[in-house]
């Protein structure tokens, strides 16, 4: 049984399961699916209410915080018990290209040459972790939601802003992966 769980699920199983979260959340609780708003809820619960952005009843959104906690716990369980030990399988052509940038360790989901404490103090690490993290956070708030909120929930509800945001996410991802990231990795 665990062998079935340890292998990646095909798109025709994983996709509909993700897609079913939208009607389930809407039917069972009239709730919207999205992750980025949970950071606002966490801040509102911890920061005194003298900042107007955090003045709202965050307790009505406690289900969202529990949902994010469940995702976190699920990730820990998966990392500990369900992921196959050994090298992550990636396309051989990509492996060859990444080797030109010094990325050769595939023992984790994220290459150790990119994400470690020591690389944080390099120019490459600064751009990937600090600048990239800031841009993801800023872009999420500027777009009014993250990829899960717009691309899953928003498109399912036929929201025009979500279509525009999803198109921008795809264009940005393409530009990043094909043009900007190679420059950063060559630093």
Q: Which residue has the higher pLDDT, 184 or 108?
A: 184
Predicted pLDDT of residue 114? 85
How would you class 155 by CB atoms within 10 Å of its CB: exposed for 0-12, middle for 13-18, buried for 19 or more? middle
Residues with Cβ within 8 Å of residue 55, at least 6 apart in sequence: 44, 49
Looking at residue 4, its pLDDT comes to: 59
For residue 86, pLDDT over 80 is answered with: no
So what's the pLDDT on residue 78? 78
Residue 30, pLDDT score:
87
Three-state secondary-structure class, residue 109: coil
Q: Where are the domains of the chain?
A: 1-83, 114-187
- With cut-offs at 50, 70 and 90, classify the pLDDT of residue 29: confident
Check pLDDT > 60 for residue 2: no
**Quick one: what percent of the chain has pLDDT higher than 90?**
32
Nearest CA to 54 out of 71, 32, 69, 39 is that of: 39
Task: Report DSSP letters for 41-103, one per residue.
Answer: HHHHHHS-TTSGGG-S-GGGGHHHHHHHHHHHHHHHHIIIIISPSSPPP--HHHHHHHHTTT-
Higher-pLDDT residue of 61 and 166 is: 166
In the chain, % of residues over pLDDT 70:
93
Give me the phi and psi of 145, to 5 degrees please.
155, 170
Overall average pLDDT of the 129-158 stretch: 89
Cα angle for residues 94, 98, 99 (degrees, 5° grid): 115
Cα separation, 91 vs 127, in Å, equals 25
CB 165 within 8 Å of CB 154: yes
Q: What is the mean pLDDT of residues 94-109?
A: 88
């Amino acid at each position: 049984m665990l062998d079935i769980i340890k292998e990646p699920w095909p798109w025709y199983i994983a996709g509909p399961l993700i897609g079913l979260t939208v009607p389930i959340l809407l039917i069972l609780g009239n709730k919207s699916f999205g992750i980025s708003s949970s950071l606002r809820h966490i801040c509102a619960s911890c920061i005194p209410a003298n900042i107007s952005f955090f003045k709202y009843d965050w307790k009505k959104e406690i289900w969202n915080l529990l949902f994010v906690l469940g995702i976190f716990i699920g990730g820990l369980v998966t990392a500990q018990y369900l992921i196959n030990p050994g090298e992550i399988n990636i396309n051989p052509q990509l492996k060859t290209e990444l080797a030109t940038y010094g990325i050769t360790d595939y023992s984790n989901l994220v290459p150790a040459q990119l994400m470690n404490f020591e690389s944080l103090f390099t120019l490459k690490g600064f751009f990937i972790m600090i600048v990239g993290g800031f841009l993801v956070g800023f872009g999420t708030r500027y777009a009014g939601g993250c990829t899960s909120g717009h691309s899953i929930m928003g498109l399912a509800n036929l929201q025009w802003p979500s279509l525009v945001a999803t198109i921008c996410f795809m264009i940005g991802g393409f530009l990043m992966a094909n043009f900007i990231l190679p420059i950063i990795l060559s630093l």
